[in-house]
Structure formats: C-alpha cells, structure tokens
A and B are shown apart, each in its own frame.
Chain A
C-alpha cells in the first residue's frame, strides 16, 4: 500500500511524463481493441477534437498558473460564436464576423479580469457569474435558434491543409507561441511569480493587477477563437455551443501538471492533457460504450489527476 502510494507520488513529480505515459497506454490499448483507431482519418479526427480544448486550455493554464480560475470559458465559446455569426449574417462581411467574435472573447476576458482586480471579486465567483451572463446573452441574441456560420470560419473549423485539420495546425502554432511566451518573456515569468506568492511578487515590484488582467484577457481571447473553430466546424453557431467545456478545459490543464494552487505548470503538459481527454472521448466512441459512462469517466479522470497533486504535496499541509 505504502509502496504503491510512493510510486504514485513519484509519478506526480514528473507529471508531463506520467500523462504522456497514460496517453501512450490508452493509445496502445485502443490500437489493439479497435481496428479503426489507427486509421489516419480517426487520428486526425482526434487531433481536431483536441484542438479546441487545447487552445482554450492554453489561456486557462496561464490563468491557473497565476492562481486564478476561469469558469466562464464554455459560455464565452458560445457567445463569441453567436456574435461572430450574427455579425457576419447582418453585415455580410466575413472579416467583421471573425474580428467581432474574437473581440467578444477578449471583452469577456477583460470583464473577468476587471471584476477580479478592480472589484476584488474572487475569480471563482466572478467567472461563475459571467458564465451565466454570457450564456444568457447568447440565448437572448438568437432566441435559442442556431445561426448559420460559414466561410472562413468553416475553413478554420473543418478545413484541412495537406489533409491535416487547420484547427490542429493552429493549436500547434499557438502552443509554441504561448510556450515561448510563458518561459521566455518578462510577463510570462511574472505570471509564474504571482502564482507562487502574490504578496511577495507585489512587494518585489510586479504589477499584479496588470498581470491578472492580462491572463484573463488572453484566456477570453482564446476562448473566443475556440468558439469560432467549434462553430465553423459545424457551420452553425448554436447558442448552447461549448456548454460544459470549462470542465474539459480545466481537466486538461490539471491533467497536464498545472497546480491549482498556482506557480507551477507547463504548456507541453497542457497539450498532452488535452490530447488525453480527446483520446478518452474517442475510446468511448470506438468501443461503443454508452456516452453516459463517458461523463462518469471524465469526472474520475479529474479526481485522479488532482489526487496525484494532493498526494505529492501532502507534506506541505501537515
């Protein structure tokens, strides 16, 4: 018992490696269990499914590293898609639609950031509020009826370059940019610092209000992009789009080794976490298991991931 606990704790210390191992294990199992799994079409599909969660998780990871949390990303996905589609329908301009969708995401992020930094509302509560508000606005704007969304958004969401989904390529490019941003830039390093010890960082001269506002704004922007991809893929912006996505996104971030207590986490881990979530979804489809079990399993995976974190940090609390 003790031995297995310490083994799990060791696993927790190299979280990227352990999540990668889990990813490999699931993949190997599936390649035996399903003839269809290794088909390029299926693999690319998994990549496409992972891309939206991963792109939004990039922003969420920075928020969590800075010791915040953004519960509103699922609703922001929906609202951005709806605003983009409605603007495109009403103006007839694809550009206005796309820019409007992204701007909506950014605006939601800025609102979250201001609620936190200016009005000192705990981000858990503030984003719980915007979760509801953004979803409500999306429903009000459409009367609950999906809006058609085609053109460039459809290319980003469903298109392929050399047979590789555009959204998957976008995920890779963004992951590289955010990774370099997080480890190399001054702002990136300050994000880690304020997550580790906000009081000490503030006294050391880090502008914590600016950094917090920045991470929430970026998270909102990426959620907006996620909304455009998701709606483009379906060629339609459903006001209920992205419902429940916050769970997948936060799970991917935590699975990837980011500490909910802040200050620790890597972008590579987040991407692996998102791929693992997509692979699990794929597994249920391929193995023909009830989608209801999928919901249960998602919860179990989250508890397992956070449990790893708790075991590893056990010494700190006692």
Chain B
C-alpha cells in the first residue's frame, strides 16, 4: 500500500516543465533522538524544483524536527543531505539561508516596534551613499513583496505590532519570499489567515512553484493540501508511512495514515446519571472578544469547546477561570452565582485549569516534579502556616501511579521530563487541587501519540468519577474522541452546540466557519 521505495522515480515524473535532472534536495537516512526519545527514524525524502509537497502528521510525528534539520536549525544524529547531487553540511540556520532554504515558522517572529518595511529588510537594509538607511527604496521593495504574497492592502510604513496575527503571518511569508529561496518550508502558514488571505497566499505559492521553487507545506487542513500540493508525505512516529498523489487519495485515508488507525481513541458512550448543572453561563461577555455566550455543562460531562484561531476558546476558559474579567453576564457553579477576580479564587472554588502552552504557562522550569505538582494545592493541604511536605510526597506517589508519570525521582527538575510526562504532571497539579470542574486548554498540544491517548484515558476516567470537564481544542478528532457535547465558537460568539449524535467533522467545521 505504501509506495515508499518508488518515490524517487514517481516524484520526478510530476515535475512539469522543470529540468529532468536529479532532485533539488535529497535527504537519506535522517535520524534524530532527544534524550533517548527517538523522534526521527531514518527518513528518506526527495524534493524537486517546482514541486509543492504537503507534509502531514500529528503533533509529535517529527515534522518540525525534520524541517529544522533540513533548514539547519538542528543536527541529525545520522543521515546525509545532498543539494543538486552534492553532499551538503547545513550546520546553522544562516548556512541554510545561504543555501537557499527559507523556513517560515509557526511562531511569529515579527518585531512589533519596527515598521513592516524594516521587518522585511532586517539584516539587509539598503543604505544610501552616505550610509543612512534608504527608506524610500526599502518601502517600495516592501510594497512589491507584500503584493507578491497577496497582502498588497497593507501599508509597509505601518508598525508591525499593530497587525493582526494573520497579517503578521503574511509578513513572515513575505520575508521568506524576499530571499527568493530555492526551498521554502511553510509550517502551518494558513492557521491564522482569513479565507481571502488564504487565496492570495495560494496564488503566491503557485507562482513560486512555476518559478521553480520547491515548497514544503505543513498543515492540519486536509482540504488545503489536497487542492494545492503535488505530493503528500505523511509522517507518523518519526517515520514516513506514505507518499500519495492528491488525486489518488481521500481525507479518510490520510487520517488513517496519520494516526495509524481510523480514530486515535474511540469514544465510549457514557450514560450521564447526573442532571445537576455544574456550570452555567448566561450572556457572558469579556471586554473585547466574547459576546453573549450562554450554555450549561452537566456534572460529569465532557464538554468540548471548538473554534478556529481567534474564535475565543482560550478567552472563554480564562473568563471561567478568573484570569480575564467578566465584563457582563452571569456565571453559576452548581447553582451558586460566582464571579472570580483572580484564578486563585477560581481554584479555591474548585475550578482548575491545564493551560495552553506548557512551557510558557504550565511548568515552573526550575522547580522539581513534586513541587510543580503541589503548587495548586499547597493552601488546601496546609492546616497551619507551614506547607504539608510529607503529604506532598505521598500525593505525588499516588498521582504518579494514577497518571502513569514516568520519572526517576520526584525531586528531579520538571524540565528533564519529556513533553508528555510534563503535561501529565500539570494534570496531576490540577487534579490534586480536587476540582469540581477541570478546564483543559489544548491539553495534548505537542505531546506524542502515546502520551496523547494516556491523557484521553485520564480525562475519561476522571469524568466517570464525576468530574466535569471542559476541553478547548482546535483538533476535531480530539473533540470526536472525547466529548459528550461540543460548543462551537466563531469570532467570539457561540455558533452552536452539537450533541454526540449530531457530531461530525463536517458539521463542526461548518459551524466554526459560520461567521467567517
């Protein structure tokens, strides 16, 4: 079924109009592991001039590591890279740029205080004869670059920090385009773009392809790769599991390739005995984003919260958790009206959060595993002024088994654990606070497939014990695997609620796009 061996020949056939000699880039046997955790097993990949390759795979499949290796940001443990048939050492990112490889990262690196024109010319600003910056030339060049990527509406004199995330993304793409790369790597470039911006961006990709650029396009949006790419490569657990032509495959087949099974985790039908309302929201608004959101969550229910980027998932969780002020509307917890001024009040009231962004908002990097797990429940278990250190040890042991956290000692720094294990510690932290409602914000971002299904198992088990769970996710399969119901947000409004029977990927996505 997989056509791994035959790609080289098949790949070059698709290159219409470009030279018929070997591939632009040939990677062989690329392997990489971090602290004993193998992320890439001997990957072979060929890229041809004038070809758009869609790279698919779940989070943790090894896409980013592979792209960092190709662009010089990471060194492979073994394997070779050839460009134009010549073995190449791409030691650093600047080596990669030198060799004509540009990588547009998912994380934006636009410098907010500089103008767009300055951002686009960072490190290579044109100067006048007297040695001053030639602003006029920089502006006109910036304007030309912006219209190439379909953003001609943006004034290059504007401060970059005033742009929306989607516009900033276009700036990043224009920055890469300005280098006229031979290989352009785009990591989730469309996640924050509006449909109109996506069209302009696609036009740029097609033009670059016609000009002979090889393009790697990473995305989770299957429709986009199916319509844009010449070839689709699927990575799973650090190995290439399939290479397909868009015309000869289906979404379902690609999902199966990516996850290894039709669904990563099967939904288990659960009978909700409880009819108690754990959380009810009425006309909830924050100061700038959310508008009149009302819904109820029953005790023991797993409620999904789905939306595209900017839909307000995180904002809504922040309001419930007290991190963002509730501007108007009502919120009730088990029938009692509440209004939290600070997350500390919410945690005392039994609302715990596993935040999005494990590194920035989750872990205390200099603290041990045990201290990380205990931080939410210090006050709960301390009868006096002093913290309950013996109890912390016991509780850590309990949760280590309950959540299957793999570690040598609970005194080791949390930063020495793998991403999945760190996330389990953050789960342990939330559960130790003995919450009545557990809020999960993108709980499986950046964890490997194994840890992902462990985390799903934990969520379902805790819900069966009566814990109410509200899970915000941008991954439809995650919602389908876990949730009893899903609330779909679109541009800060509630677009609708789907029950288990009504839930399907198409309906969820259609609703999410409603306001767009």
Contact = CB atoms under 8 A, between A and B. Distances in A.
B348 interface: yes
Contact of A193 (B347, B355, B375): B375
B386 A209 contact: no
Interface string A154-197: 00000000000000000000000000000011111110110011
A203 B343 contact: yes
B366 A263 contact: yes
Nearest to A181: B385
A205 B386 contact: no
B371 interface: yes
B6 interface: no
Nearest to A192: B367
Interface in B202-258: none
Contacts of B195: none
Residue among A188, A206, A209 with most chain B CB within 10 A: A206
Given A189-B387, A197-B364, A203 B342 contact: no
B400 interface: no
Given A185-B385, A186-B379, A205-B352, A200 B362 contact: yes
A206 B344 contact: yes
Contacts of B355: 200, 203
A202 interface: yes
Contacts of B375: 189-190, 193, 201, 204-206
Interface string B368-410: 0001000110110010011101000000000000000000000
B361 interface: yes
A201 B355 CA distance: 11
A186 B375 CA distance: 9
A292 to B, nearest CB: 39
B346 interface: yes
A186 B387 contact: yes
Interface string B328-372: 000000000000001110111000110100001111111100010
B371 A189 contact: yes
B378 A190 contact: yes
Contacts of A207: 342, 344
Chain A residues touching B, range: 20 to 34
B321 A203 contact: yes
A204 B380 CA distance: 13
Contacts of B376: 204-205
Contacts of B367: 192-193, 196, 263
B365 to A, nearest CB: 6
B347 A205 contact: yes
Contacts of A201: 364, 375
B323 interface: yes
Residue among A187, A190, A196 with most chain B CB within 10 A: A196
Nearest to A187: B385
A189 B378 contact: yes
B387 A184 contact: yes
B378 A186 contact: yes
A161 B406 CA distance: 55
Contacts of B323: 202-203
A186 B343 contact: no
B46 to A, nearest CB: 33
B3 to A, nearest CB: 41
B429 interface: yes
A202 B379 CA distance: 14
Contacts of B366: 196, 263-264
Nearest to A190: B378
B447 interface: no
Nearest to B347: A205
Nearest to A205: B347
B440 interface: no
A118 interface: no
B364 A196 contact: yes
B482 interface: no
A185 B385 CA distance: 6
B53 interface: no
A206 B429 CA distance: 12
B1 to A, nearest CB: 44
Contacts of A263: 364, 366-367
A225 B363 CA distance: 37
Interface in A205-236: 205-207, 209-210
A196 B365 contact: yes
A187 B379 CA distance: 9
Nearest to B318: A203
Contacts of B382: 186
A246 to B, nearest CB: 26
| CB-based closest 6 A-B pairs | A205-B347, A207-B344, A196-B364, A204-B376, A186-B378, A263-B366
Given A197-B363, A200-B364, A201-B375, 8 more contacts: A184-B386, A187-B385, A188-B387, A193-B364, A196-B366, A201-B364, A203-B355, A203-B361
13 contacts: A186-B387, A187-B385, A189-B378, A189-B387, A196-B365, A196-B366, A197-B365, A199-B360, A203-B321, A203-B361, A204-B343, A204-B347, A263-B366
